[in-house]
Amino acid sequence: MWESFFLDFFDSVAEPLGVVVRAWGCREGWLQGELFRYGRDRKLRVNEYSLGGNKKADLCSFDEPRMVAEIKILGPDYNAKGRYALDADVERLRAIEDAELERYMILVVPLSPVESSLGRYLTGVCYSSHCAEREYPAFKLRLWRLDC
Protein backbone atom coordinates (compact mmCIF):
# COMPACT_ATOMS: atom_id res chain seq x y z
CA MET A 1 0.00 0.00 0.00
CA TRP A 2 2.68 2.54 0.96
CA GLU A 3 4.76 2.00 -2.16
CA SER A 4 1.81 2.77 -4.41
CA PHE A 5 0.92 5.74 -2.17
CA PHE A 6 4.40 7.22 -2.63
CA LEU A 7 4.49 6.59 -6.38
CA ASP A 8 1.03 8.12 -6.86
CA PHE A 9 2.08 11.11 -4.76
CA PHE A 10 5.20 11.79 -6.84
CA ASP A 11 3.20 11.46 -10.05
CA SER A 12 0.81 14.11 -8.71
CA VAL A 13 3.50 16.62 -7.65
CA ALA A 14 6.13 16.07 -10.34
CA GLU A 15 5.67 19.50 -11.91
CA PRO A 16 5.82 21.68 -8.77
CA LEU A 17 8.53 19.49 -7.23
CA GLY A 18 10.53 20.02 -10.41
CA VAL A 19 10.66 23.71 -9.45
CA VAL A 20 11.09 23.31 -5.68
CA VAL A 21 13.88 20.72 -6.05
CA ARG A 22 16.26 23.64 -6.78
CA ALA A 23 15.15 25.68 -3.75
CA TRP A 24 18.07 25.13 -1.37
CA GLY A 25 17.14 24.96 2.29
CA CYS A 26 13.44 24.23 1.98
CA ARG A 27 13.04 21.34 -0.46
CA GLU A 28 12.69 18.47 2.00
CA GLY A 29 10.43 20.52 4.28
CA TRP A 30 8.18 21.41 1.34
CA LEU A 31 8.09 17.77 0.30
CA GLN A 32 7.19 16.64 3.82
CA GLY A 33 4.38 19.20 3.94
CA GLU A 34 2.96 18.08 0.61
CA LEU A 35 3.16 14.43 1.66
CA PHE A 36 1.37 15.30 4.89
CA ARG A 37 -1.43 17.02 2.96
CA TYR A 38 -1.68 14.13 0.48
CA GLY A 39 -1.65 11.47 3.21
CA ARG A 40 -4.00 13.01 5.79
CA ASP A 41 -6.69 10.37 5.22
CA ARG A 42 -4.07 7.65 5.77
CA LYS A 43 -2.97 9.30 9.00
CA LEU A 44 0.50 10.04 7.68
CA ARG A 45 2.65 11.87 10.23
CA VAL A 46 5.82 13.92 9.90
CA ASN A 47 8.72 14.04 12.35
CA GLU A 48 7.00 11.93 15.02
CA TYR A 49 8.74 8.53 14.96
CA SER A 50 11.84 8.55 17.15
CA LEU A 51 14.96 7.00 15.67
CA GLY A 52 16.90 7.52 18.89
CA GLY A 53 18.64 10.51 20.33
CA ASN A 54 17.17 13.68 18.87
CA LYS A 55 16.57 12.13 15.43
CA LYS A 56 13.02 11.72 14.12
CA ALA A 57 11.97 9.93 10.95
CA ASP A 58 10.68 12.22 8.21
CA LEU A 59 7.45 10.24 7.76
CA CYS A 60 5.50 7.59 9.63
CA SER A 61 2.09 6.05 10.09
CA PHE A 62 0.97 4.21 13.19
CA ASP A 63 -2.07 2.72 11.44
CA GLU A 64 -1.83 -0.64 9.67
CA PRO A 65 0.28 -1.20 7.77
CA ARG A 66 2.63 0.76 10.01
CA MET A 67 5.39 2.57 8.18
CA VAL A 68 8.42 4.78 8.66
CA ALA A 69 10.33 6.61 5.91
CA GLU A 70 13.24 8.95 5.37
CA ILE A 71 13.51 11.45 2.50
CA LYS A 72 16.71 12.70 0.88
CA ILE A 73 17.11 15.12 -2.02
CA LEU A 74 20.64 14.76 -3.40
CA GLY A 75 22.10 15.50 -6.81
CA PRO A 76 25.36 14.75 -8.58
CA ASP A 77 26.40 18.40 -8.14
CA TYR A 78 25.91 18.33 -4.34
CA ASN A 79 28.56 17.96 -1.65
CA ALA A 80 29.91 14.39 -1.65
CA LYS A 81 29.18 14.20 2.10
CA GLY A 82 25.52 13.72 1.13
CA ARG A 83 26.34 10.10 0.39
CA TYR A 84 27.13 9.48 4.05
CA ALA A 85 23.95 11.20 5.22
CA LEU A 86 21.95 8.97 2.87
CA ASP A 87 23.71 5.82 4.08
CA ALA A 88 23.22 6.89 7.71
CA ASP A 89 19.47 7.32 7.18
CA VAL A 90 19.26 3.81 5.71
CA GLU A 91 21.22 2.35 8.63
CA ARG A 92 18.95 4.09 11.16
CA LEU A 93 15.90 2.63 9.43
CA ARG A 94 17.42 -0.84 9.37
CA ALA A 95 18.29 -0.62 13.07
CA ILE A 96 14.63 -0.32 14.10
CA GLU A 97 13.73 -3.45 16.06
CA ASP A 98 10.18 -3.96 14.79
CA ALA A 99 9.80 -6.68 12.17
CA GLU A 100 6.23 -5.61 11.30
CA LEU A 101 7.15 -2.01 10.49
CA GLU A 102 7.55 -1.16 6.79
CA ARG A 103 10.66 0.94 6.16
CA TYR A 104 11.19 3.17 3.12
CA MET A 105 14.07 5.25 1.85
CA ILE A 106 12.92 7.92 -0.61
CA LEU A 107 15.63 9.49 -2.76
CA VAL A 108 14.92 12.40 -5.10
CA VAL A 109 17.80 13.11 -7.49
CA PRO A 110 17.55 16.43 -9.36
CA LEU A 111 18.65 15.96 -12.95
CA SER A 112 21.96 17.64 -13.72
CA PRO A 113 24.51 17.63 -16.56
CA VAL A 114 27.26 17.31 -13.92
CA GLU A 115 29.02 13.95 -13.76
CA SER A 116 30.53 13.05 -10.41
CA SER A 117 31.31 10.15 -8.12
CA LEU A 118 28.27 11.13 -6.03
CA GLY A 119 26.07 11.06 -9.13
CA ARG A 120 27.34 7.58 -10.03
CA TYR A 121 26.73 6.46 -6.43
CA LEU A 122 23.17 7.81 -6.39
CA THR A 123 22.41 6.04 -9.67
CA GLY A 124 23.99 2.73 -8.71
CA VAL A 125 23.41 2.30 -4.98
CA CYS A 126 21.15 -0.61 -4.07
CA TYR A 127 19.78 -0.76 -0.53
CA SER A 128 17.24 -3.48 -1.24
CA SER A 129 16.13 -5.81 -3.99
CA HIS A 130 12.81 -3.95 -3.82
CA CYS A 131 13.45 -0.62 -5.57
CA ALA A 132 10.95 1.40 -7.59
CA GLU A 133 12.30 4.08 -9.91
CA ARG A 134 10.63 6.82 -11.91
CA GLU A 135 12.11 9.60 -13.98
CA TYR A 136 10.37 12.95 -14.32
CA PRO A 137 11.44 15.98 -16.39
CA ALA A 138 13.42 17.59 -13.53
CA PHE A 139 14.29 14.72 -11.19
CA LYS A 140 14.57 10.98 -10.73
CA LEU A 141 12.84 9.13 -7.90
CA ARG A 142 14.33 6.04 -6.26
CA LEU A 143 12.20 4.36 -3.60
CA TRP A 144 13.42 1.39 -1.59
CA ARG A 145 11.39 -0.79 0.73
CA LEU A 146 14.09 -1.87 3.13
CA ASP A 147 14.44 -5.33 4.57
CA CYS A 148 14.75 -5.72 8.33
Could you count the other beta carbons within 10 Å of the beta carbon of residue 78? 20
**102 neighbors 66 (Cβ within 8 angstroms):** yes
pLDDT band at 52; cut points 50, 70, 90: confident
Mean pLDDT score of the chain: 95
| Measured distance CA(71)–CA(91) in Å, rounded | 13
Answer whether residue 148 shows pLDDT above 80: no
Answer whether residue 147 shows pLDDT above 90: no
DSSP character string of 69-129: EEEEE--TTS-TTHHHHHHHHHHHHHT---TTSEEEEEEEEE--S---HHHHHHHH--S-S
The whole-number pLDDT of residue 134 equals: 98
Answer whether residue 62 shows pLDDT above 80: yes
| Total-model pTM | 0.95
**99 neighbors 87 (Cβ within 8 angstroms):** no
CB-based burial label for 70 (10 Å; 0-12, 13-18, 19+): buried
Q: In this structure, what are the phi and psi dihedrals at residue 73, rounded to the nearest 5 degrees?
A: -115, 110
